Structure formats: C-alpha cells, structure tokens
Amino acid sequence: MKPISIFLFLLAVTLSAEEIPSFPFIFVRGRAEIEVPPNFSEISFDVLSKGSDYKVGNERLREFTGRLLQFLQKSEISENDIRSFEVDIQREENYETGKLKYYKFTRDFTVRFDKLDHYGDFIDQLLDLGFIENLDVDFDHTDSEILKEKTIEDATADAVERAKKLASSLGTAIQNVHAISEVNFDRVMDNLKPRGEYYNSTMYSLRAGAGSSYFIPENITIDASIYVLFRLKE
C-alpha cells in the first residue's frame, strides 16, 4: 500500500481559531499519473554574433538569422512553428581598463520539431551552423492538456478514496470538502497557505535519436496532485 500523506487534527491544538478549522478534519493528497511517448519537441536556442564594431556585429547577426531560416525551411519547418524574439545587445568591456572588448548580439528562437525520428540529425545540423548557443529542448505530447485534465480527475478520485478509507479506519466518515487545491499545503499549520507546483513532466528511459548521440525520452510522465481538506462527521 502506498503511504498516505495526511495531517490529522482530532485533538485540541495550540493555534488560534483563525489559523485552522475548529472542527475535526483530515488532510489528504490524491495523485495520478499517465505515461506517454512524446511526439514533438520545443527546441530553444540563441543566434549569437560578436564584433568590436557595432554595425558589423549587427549585420552579421542578420546574416546568421537568414542562414538559420534557410536551414529551417530546408528542414521543412513551418513558419508557424518558429518563434523569434527581439535582439539583445550587450556591450562587453575589459574589467581592468573599462575599454570595449566587443558587442554581443543575440536573438532567441524557439522551434517546434515534430519529426522525432530525425531529431538527432536535426540537432547535429543545427549546431553545425556555428553560431548557435544556449540550446534547450523540451519534449511534449500533442494531447498533453487533455491528459492533464484526466490526471486531475483521477487524482481527485484518489483523494476521496484515501480519505474514506482513513476515516473508516478511525471509526468515522468524511462529511464534506472544506478546502481543495492543486498546489501543496506545505504549511498546513501556517494558516493553511498553499505553495509549490503540481505538474511535473519527468523525462527518463532515454533513447538515442537516429544517427546521433542526442537522446529523447522513451516516455514523459504527466501527473497531478490534489490536496483536499475533508471535514469529519462528529
């Protein structure tokens, strides 16, 4: 049997009436998860240009951006799957002299890539362009929102079932829901204020992309936790 995360307050406590309910209650966590193989990725990266001359550095960034877009078009990436952001310009100086070292121009891009069978080759060719840095990849599933809703429903049902079993073992029963949250009540004794996050997409069981040393997950885990405070029958 899985351990039940619970706070049981059936006896008098030292906190004031404003901090916790005055009636008997139990606090349980319901949890559910679904594992699915990812079917697309979100690839984020920067296009980088450096130069001691501002104009030359800016023109080089435009050139690199043009080469990137040509590569993405050749890779059959739709324009709708490409997001680009404003150019960031930084002036790098010598710490000792204060003189200019170079200007650094960067533009952020995010690309949706669906052909995971060719993921490794795509990453290899992207990095071979020579001006890409800060590469980051997230894997996801097109039905993730639907699956998240399903895990919330299952987690809620799990919380109710856990509460019923626990209350029955104590010779009582749940009466009604007093509070429910999708984030953890880590400090129940501190005004029952919730904090934390409830969704996690965990990547594991990695496999290599075709023809590459880059890896993609066998599955991603979509999970949800529901924290419920039930009032007990007196």
pLDDT tens-digit readout, 154-196: 999 999 999 999 999 989 999 999 888 877 665 444 444 433 3
Q: By the 8 A CB rule, do 13 and 188 touch?
A: no
Residue 124 predicted with pLDDT over 80: yes
Residues 6+ apart with CB under 8 A from 10: 24, 170, 232
Cα–Cα distance, 122 to 211 (Å, whole number): 10
Question: Chain-wide mean pLDDT for the chain?
Answer: 82
Cα–Cα distance, 187 to 160 (Å, whole number): 21
All structural domains of the chain, each given as residue ranges with its CATH number in brackets, are 6-37+143-232 (3.30.110.170), 40-140 (3.30.70.2970)
Cα–Cα distance, 182 to 199 (Å, whole number): 9
Residue 131 predicted with pLDDT over 90: yes
pLDDT score at 185 = 60
Structure tokens, 86: 């404003």
- Model pTM score: 0.71
